[in-house]
Structure 1
Amino acid sequence: MSYIEIPAYAKINLSLDVIRRREDGYHELRMIMQTVSLHDTVCLESAGEAGIRLECDTDAVPCDRTNTAWRAAELMFGQYNLAGGLRIRIIKRIPAAAGLAGGSTDAAAVLKGINELYALGLDTGELKRLGLQIGADVPYCIEGGTRLAEGIGEILTPLPDLSGIDVVIVKPHIKVSTPWVYSQLDLSQVTEHDRPDTEKLTEALANRDLKAASLNMKNVLELVTMRRYEIISYAKSRMAQAGAEACLMSGSGPSVFGLFAGPEKAQEAYAKLSAHREWECFIARTV
């Protein structure tokens, strides 16, 4: 085998709680994460000539060593002394800098793809260990599905499967710096009302009760990002008006997603929300 294509799925945060700032500067998190069908396609081809070459169908992401996909390939080639080179082509569908783990999921796809392409035989645990060297979300992107993520996001616990829920996502035409959002979060000002009840949310999701889930689908980073960018509050209100059973900002933003009770309602909402020039709009399902 010399060529492989790997789907790289986006993620949404069904909740996000920041517990504390750690001594190493990272934040201790507790959040429920879910993959959705919106995905990039990562194409890998082994090459006789040494070195990594990366190309992408958009200028929105870099095609050099600052790209997480490149770093993932470099890590694997160095770790396992792989001969020759690698050509990476990314077909982007996940918007960049959106709070949907677009970069992390591409890196995860490269790790999984190289493992298969070069028959390395690495298990999921080893791939996640390698992924953590690239970024905190990469281990989750390797596993995917419905997971409780703790630590900096690398401690993953499987939750009851939530696949098959219809999702609409809007990504406003703004860029949000994740480090800036965390730097502006004052945990002393976060109340219990701002935090999700993860146990109640887990129970509601297990019952696929979206209305009950909506009561505890909370993201404490909204306290920072929504205060700075009014468009996110507007997107949430429009999503709710379009019929979402529950809606939330994903990650540090700016994307907002809504969960819908069936494909017809999701399609209707997508049609309404796509008419707005303030954002890109996507329709998907949980996977």
Structure 2
Amino acid sequence: MKIYEKAPAKINLMLDVLHKRPDGFHEVEMVMTMVDLADRLEMSDLPRDTIIITSQAGYIPLDEKNLAFQAARLIKDRYDVKSGVHIHLDKKIPVAAGLAGGSSDAAAALRGLNRLWKLNIPVKELQELGAELGSDVPFCVTGGTALATGRGEKLTHVRNPLQCWVILAKPPINVSTAEVYGKFRAAEIKQHPSASGMIQAIETGNFEAVCDGLGNVLEDVTLKLHPQVGQLKDAMMKLGADGVLMSGSGPTVFGLVYKESKVARIYNGLRGFCKEVYAVRLLT
């Protein structure tokens, strides 16, 4: 038996960091949504008690460093599953890009193995398992659009009638999320993006207000460390994207585009700056 799961990328329409918590995590407020750029996982039962990860991508770990591997091991240990699994990961989402590719893979593994092994784990419980793997995993379990608070694991669903194109561009660098958060100083933020304003804009389908409300307090830190991210933002805006923002801790920059007639020009223009450019739709 084989089970297939899609693992879409996420973007942050707004990301605010409020303070550092006693447990070492940061208290965040984020509005996240998913785009139609996705990894795909094929999961099949193995008779022996082992986890095997394979992929066509030669640049990702295929052992316990892989979040899908960690998800499989967690669900096997927690529910005393003696079967093994072979997970083939068809990788399309750029790595270390601020798009939660690894987290989405882990979430897809949790969903798929729940079906493969007929465990009947409720969604809420899958999200709790996901929180043990990473802050973005609970959101990726259900996807859609959501307000995330706490360290990212507390989710409130947002009704999403918004439809538009999204241009994603990742410069040829990797950004350390730990380094960005380590250099971030919440007290230095003069203006915080509004989660409530973004949610209202999304739920009313006000595309202009969504673009106006885009904000990410981590941008200043990443742009100082990697000026090419700022250059990419400027290029995307000059090419005509309606709203532009860095996703997560970067380095991927995304542009929201309402008119399809603009998409090819922006896409082709950005290919002069970096190779990894994608034109996709919001998953509503």
Work out whether the TM-score is over 0.5.
yes
Runs ≥4 residues deviating over 3 A: none
Q: Is the 8 A contact 2:162 2:207 kept in 1?
A: no
For 1:109-258, list aligned pairs within 5 A: 109-162=108-161, 164-192=163-191, 195-258=192-255
Equivalent pairs, count:
283
Contact kept in structure 2, 1:163 and 1:285, CA below 8 Å: no
Q: Counterpart in 1 of 2:37? A: 38
Per-residue CA deviation, residues 15-54 of structure 1 (Å, 9 max, x unaligned), is 0000110001000000100011100001111011221011
Assess, with a 3 A threshold, how the Cα gap between structure 1 residues 163 and 123 changes in structure 2: closer, same or farther: farther
Amino acid at match of 2:136: D
Separation of aligned partners in 2, 1:3 and 1:65: 22
Name 1:60's counterpart in structure 2.
59
User: Which amino acid is the alignment partner of residue 29 of structure 2?
Assistant: R
Give the whole-Å Cα distance in 2 for the aligned partners of 1:164 and 1:202. Answer: 14
1 CA distance for matches of 2:197 and 2:12?
16
Q: Is the CA contact (8 Å cut-off) linking 2:3 and 2:44 kept in structure 1? A: yes
- Structure-2 change in CA distance of 1:141 and 1:203 (3 Å): same
Amino acid at match of 1:127: L
The code of the aligned residue for 2:183 comes to Q
Shift of 1:83: 2.2
Partner secondary structure for residue 15 of structure 2: strand
Tell me, yes or no, if the aligned pair for 1:221 and 1:252 is still in contact at 8 Å.
yes
Distance (whole Å) between structure 1 residues aligned to residue 161 and residue 97 of structure 2: 22
- How far apart, in 2, do the equivalents of 1:199 and 1:116 lie? 36
Identity, in percent, stands at: 38
Whole-angstrom CA distance in 1 between matches of 2:245 and 2:271: 18
* Residue of 266, 277, 280 corresponding to 1:284: 280
- SS of 2:41's equivalent in the other structure is strand
Contact 2:32/2:146 (CA < 8 Å) preserved in 1?
yes
Which structure 1 segments of 5+ residues have no match?
Answer: none
Task: Name the aligned partner's letter for residue 272 of structure 2.
Answer: A
TM-score (norm 2): 0.97
Quote how far apart the aligned CAs of 1:163 are: 5.1
Tell me if structure 2 keeps the 8 A contact 1:168–1:257.
yes
Give SS of 1:33's match. strand
The residue type paired with residue 280 of structure 1 is E
Which of the residues 261, 266, 274 maps onto 2:263? 266
CA contact (8 A) 2:161 2:204 kept: no
Secondary structure in 2 matching 1:268? helix
CA distance in 2, matches of 1:78, 1:187: 38
| 1:162–1:205 CA contact under 8 A, matched in 2 | yes
Q: How far apart are residue 279 of structure 1 and its match?
A: 4.3
For 1:215, what is the secondary structure of its paired residue?
helix
TM-score (normalizing by structure 1): 0.96
Question: Does structure 1 retain, via aligned residues, the 8 Å contact 2:211–2:256?
Answer: no
Q: Secondary structure at the match of 1:231?
A: helix
Q: State how far apart, in whole Å, the 2-side matches of 1:31 and 1:162 are.
A: 18
**1:171–1:256 Cα contact (<8 Å) kept:** yes
Q: Counterpart of 1:206 in structure 2: which amino acid?
A: E
Gaps of 5+ in 2: none
User: Do 1:3 and 1:43's aligned partners in 2 also have CA atoms closer than 8 Å?
Assistant: yes
* Deviation, structure 1 residue 79: 1.0
